[in-house]
């Protein structure tokens, strides 16, 4: 389901879980699975702050990027809303977060889908994991961006990363969704855990993406998240930090970067070459 702003009604949990569910418009307009990128985000803004520059790069390279926002982060990542609306409601906050996140995704050139699961804590049970398996099998992404699997400073993030790995593992098995071909293990890249706690969360990137050309656009997207006004400062600081590290390896004039850890090992007849110029 794409966001309701497109005039669609929310699906029931039953419909979401049905293996016979119709492909969404998102899948229909995808002719080439190898061009699909799936981003799985625990909360409303995570995908944008941690991988917004990379999403912009990928879209400009011809990839089609779809975001799955498991929750809107109403309980744990909407402090600005609750500060300004002490008498506010879960529903009103949720709708506001969806509007913000939809605007941000549009700025990045991605489509977005909200699952409306609850956050803090985000619990991903068997039924929800099966839904993720189904979406992987429908979208059949070449690349998945999601949360690092170790994040004691934010268990919602770690739960998401681990559920995505489990979903990809299951989706690669024939029979995961009867009547649907298995999907190969996509290239999973974990993005930054809770900033600025990367060391505490044992995250050391092995991939750096130069987002300098798209940093300004990424900041325009982050600015949509009025409920989290602190994000801009956090992620400018961190993008500079990752760029500082990336420059050590390339000597290129990288001003802003995003860091990732690769899950699926690289397989090829050659070896990946770090860009020098």
Footprint of Zn ion (CB under 5 A): 42-43, 46
Calpha distance 116→70 (Å, rounded): 6
Beta bridge partners of 40: 68
Which position has the token pair 């398996």? 133
Smallest distance from Zn ion to CB 83, Å: 18
CB of 71 to Zn ion, least distance (A): 8
Non-local (6+) Cβ contacts of 116 within 8 A are 10, 71, 72, 94
Q: Which is nearer to Zn ion, 30 or 43 (CB)?
A: 43
Q: How far apart are CA 88 and CA 91, in angstroms?
A: 9
Please say whether the beta carbons of 72 and 116 come within 8 A: yes
Dist. CA 136–CA 262, nearest whole Å? 18
Nearer to Zn ion, 46 or 210 (CB): 46
CB of 172 to Zn ion, least distance (A): 27
Residue 200 CB, shortest distance to Zn ion, in Å, is 16
Q: Is 85 left (phi over 0), alpha (psi -120 to 50) or beta?
A: beta
Helices (H), 61-154: 79-84, 90-108, 126-139
Nearest-CB residue to Zn ion? 43
Give the nearer residue to Zn ion in terms of CB position, either 43 or 134: 43
What residues are paired with 189 via a beta bridge? Answer: 145, 262
Question: In terms of DSSP H, where are the helices of 112-177?
Answer: 126-139, 155-171
Query: Closest separation between CB of residue 26 and Zn ion, Å?
Result: 23
Euclidean distance between the first and the last CA atom of the chain, given in angstroms as a whole number: 41
> Measured from the CB atom, is 42 or 231 closer to Zn ion?
42
Of residues 46 and 103, the one with the C-beta less far from Zn ion: 46
Give min distance, CB of 259 to Zn ion, in A: 17
Taking the least distance from each CB to Zn ion, the nearer of 63 and 191 is: 191
Residue (19 or 155) nearer to Zn ion, CB: 155
Query: Which two three-digit tokens encode residue 63?
Result: 């990839």
Report the nearest approach of Zn ion to the CB of residue 77 (Å).
5
Token pair for 92: 């009103």
């Amino acid at each position: 389901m794409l966001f309701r702003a497109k005039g669609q009604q929310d699906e029931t949990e039953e419909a979401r879980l049905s293996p016979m569910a119709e492909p969404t418009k998102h899948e229909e307009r995808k002719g080439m699975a190898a061009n699909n990128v799936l981003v799985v985000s625990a909360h409303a803004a995570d995908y944008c702050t941690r991988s917004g520059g990379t999403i912009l790069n990928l879209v400009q390279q011809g990839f089609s990027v779809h975001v799955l926002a498991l929750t809107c982060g109403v309980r744990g990542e909407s402090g600005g809303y609750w500060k300004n609306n002490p008498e506010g409601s879960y529903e009103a906050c949720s709708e506001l977060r969806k509007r913000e996140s939809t605007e941000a995704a549009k700025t990045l050139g991605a489509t977005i889908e909200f699952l409306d699961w609850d956050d803090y804590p985000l619990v991903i049970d068997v039924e929800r994991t099966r839904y993720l398996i189904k979406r992987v099998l429908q979208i059949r992404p070449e690349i998945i961006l999601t949360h690092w699997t170790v994040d004691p400073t934010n268990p919602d993030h770690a739960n998401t990363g681990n559920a995505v790995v489990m979903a990809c593992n299951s989706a690669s098995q024939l029979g995961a969704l009867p009547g649907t071909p298995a999907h190969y293990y996509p290239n999973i890249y974990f993005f930054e855990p809770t900033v600025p706690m990367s060391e505490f969360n044992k995250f050391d990137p092995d991939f750096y993406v130069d987002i300098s050309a798209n940093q300004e656009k990424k900041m325009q997207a982050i600015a949509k998240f009025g409920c989290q006004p602190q994000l801009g400062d956090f992620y400018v600081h961190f993008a500079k930090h990752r760029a500082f590290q990336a420059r050590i390896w390339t000597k290129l004039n990288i001003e802003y970067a995003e860091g990732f850890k690769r899950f699926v090992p690289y397989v090829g007849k050659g070896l990946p070459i770090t860009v020098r110029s």
